[in-house]
Amino acid sequence: DIPFVTHLGFELEKFEDGESAIGFSPKPEHLNSFAVIHGGAVMTLMDVTLAAAARSVQPEMGVVTIEMKTSFMRPL
């Protein structure tokens, strides 16, 4: 349980064999001033999805993101 992830409304849909999928239904509070999903919410979704995939191989192990970067090509 990660309180911030719960707050964003992410739902774990797949967690097995090094793969994961997380559902996210954005709400108005997830948008930025341009009425698109805030980049921080998108980055958090990617971070949590990648960590879940890694942990699905060995669930008792912890995972920490050391570095993460993306280039947004268009609004989501």
How far apart are alpha carbons 66 and 59 in whole angstroms?
Answer: 19
Q: What is the pLDDT along the chain (76 residues), one digit of tens a residue?
A: 889 999 999 999 999 999 999 999 999 999 999 999 999 999 999 999 999 999 999 999 989 999 999 999 988 7
The pTM of this model reads 0.89
Residues 59, 25 contacting (CB under 8 angstroms)? no
Cα 19 to chain centroid distance, Å, stands at 13
Angle at 71 between CA 27 and CA 53, to 5 degrees: 70
